[in-house]
Amino acid sequence: MTNHYLELNGVSKTFSGFKLDNISFSLPKGYIMGLVGTNGAGKTTTIQLILNMLKMDCGQIQIFGHDHVKYENVAKQHIGVVFDHVFYVDSWTVKDTERAISSFYHNWRHDVFNEMLRRFDLPLEKKVGELSRGMQMKLMLACAMSHDPKLLILDEPTSGLDPVSRDELLEMLQEYIQDGERSVLFSTHITSDLERIADYITFIHQGQNVYSGKMDDFLGRFRLIKGRHKELTSALQERIIGLRITNMGFEGLIDIKEATKYKHLVLDAASIDDIMIHIGKRK
Amino acid sequence: MAGYLKMVRLDYYTMKSQVIIYLTLAAIVMIFGFMGSSFMIMCITGSWFTALLSSNIFAIQEKNGLHRLYGSVSISLSNIIMGRYIFYIFSFAISFMIISIIYVFMILLENKALELLDILLGFSMSLLVYSLIIGIQVPMFFKMGYTKAKIWTMIPFVGILALLIIPSFTSVLSGVVETILSHQVFLVIGGFFISCAILFLSYRFSLFAYRRRE
- Give the type of residue at B86: I
pLDDT on residue A84: 87
What residue in B sits closest to A89 (Cα-Cα)?
B64
Q: Are A90 and B64 an interchain contact pair (Cβ–Cβ within 8 Å)?
A: yes
Q: Put the strands of the sheet holding A200-205 in their side by side order.
A: A66-67, A58-63, A4-15, A18-28, A208-214, A200-205, A32-36, A183-188, A151-155, A79-82
pLDDT on residue A78: 94
**In a mutagenesis test of the B interface, which of A57, A91, A151, A154 is the best target, namely the one with the most B β-carbons within 10 Å?**
A91
Domain positions in chain B: 3-213
State pLDDT tens for residues A101-136. 999 999 999 999 999 899 888 888 999 999 988 889
Say whether pLDDT at B170 is over 60: yes
Say whether pLDDT at A270 is over 80: yes
CB A279 within 8 A of CB A259: no
Q: Where are the alpha helices (DSSP H) in chain A?
A: 43-50, 72-76, 94-102, 110-120, 133-145, 163-176, 191-197, 215-220, 234-239, 256-259, 272-282
Q: Are A103 and B69 an interchain contact pair (Cβ–Cβ within 8 Å)?
A: no
State pLDDT tens for residues A11-36. 999 988 899 999 999 999 999 999 99
Q: Are B68 and A87 an interchain contact pair (Cβ–Cβ within 8 Å)?
A: yes
- Give the type of residue at A208: Q
Q: What is the pTM of this model?
A: 0.85
Continuous segment of H or E residues that includes residue B43: helix B39-54
State pLDDT tens for residues B103-154. 888 888 877 777 888 889 889 989 998 999 999 999 999 998 888 888 887 7
- Write down the ipTM of this complex: 0.85
Q: What is the mean pLDDT of residues A244-271?
A: 86
pLDDT on residue A282: 67
The CA distance from A235 to the nearest CA of chain B, in Å, is: 48
Pairing of strands A200-205, A32-36: parallel
pLDDT on residue B40: 82
The CA distance from B214 to the nearest CA of chain A, in Å, is: 6
pLDDT on residue B107: 82
Q: How many CB pairs (< 8 A) connect A and B? A: 70
Q: Which range, A90-94, A246-250, B2-6, has the best average confidence (pLDDT)? A: A90-94
Say whether pLDDT at A257 is over 80: yes
Question: How far apart are alpha carbons A226 and A152 in whole angstroms?
Answer: 39
Residues 4-63 on B with a CB inside 8 Å of A are: 6, 9-10, 13-14, 16-17, 60, 63
The pLDDT-based confidence of A279 (bands split at 50, 70, 90) is confident
Q: Are B75 and A73 an interchain contact pair (Cβ–Cβ within 8 Å)?
A: yes
Question: How far apart are alpha carbons B56 and B177 in whole angstroms?
Answer: 32
Judged by a CB distance cut-off of 8 A, whether residue B111 touches chain A is no
Give the torsion through C-alpha atoms of A134, A140, A141, A147, to 10 deg.
160
Judged by a CB distance cut-off of 8 A, whether residue A273 touches chain B is no
Q: Are A99 and B69 an interchain contact pair (Cβ–Cβ within 8 Å)?
A: no
Say whether pLDDT at A241 is over 60: yes
Least CB–CB distance from B72: residue in A81, A91, A92? A81
Q: Are A73 and B74 an interchain contact pair (Cβ–Cβ within 8 Å)?
A: yes
CB B153 within 8 A of CB B141: yes
Judged by a CB distance cut-off of 8 A, whether residue B86 touches chain A is no
Judged by a CB distance cut-off of 8 A, whether residue A130 touches chain B is no
pLDDT on residue B35: 75
Question: How far apart are alpha carbons B27 and B24 in whole angstroms?
Answer: 5
Judged by a CB distance cut-off of 8 A, whether residue A69 touches chain B is no
Specify the range with the lowest mean pLDDT, choosing from A33-37, A145-149, A262-266, B3-7.
A262-266
CB B130 within 8 A of CB B92: yes
pLDDT on residue A130: 93
State pLDDT tens for residues A194-215. 888 899 999 998 899 988 999 8
pLDDT on residue B163: 76
Angle between helix B56-63 and helix B3-15 axes, rounded to 10 deg: 90
Over the range B47-84, which residues count as b (16 or more CB within 10 Å of their CB) and which as e? bbbbbebbbebbebbbebebbbbbbbbbbeeebbbbbb
What residue in A sits closest to B214 (Cα-Cα)?
A54
The pLDDT-based confidence of A283 (bands split at 50, 70, 90) is low
pLDDT on residue A80: 95
Judged by a CB distance cut-off of 8 A, whether residue B214 touches chain A is yes
Question: How far apart are alpha carbons A57 and A200 in whole angstroms?
Answer: 26
Judged by a CB distance cut-off of 8 A, whether residue B72 touches chain A is yes
State pLDDT tens for residues B49-108. 888 888 889 999 999 999 999 999 989 889 999 999 999 999 999 889 988 888 888 888
Question: How far apart are alpha carbons A141 and A58 in whole angstroms?
Answer: 31
Q: Are B13 and A100 an interchain contact pair (Cβ–Cβ within 8 Å)?
A: yes
Q: Are B74 and A54 an interchain contact pair (Cβ–Cβ within 8 Å)?
A: no
Continuous segment of H or E residues that includes residue A25: strand A18-28
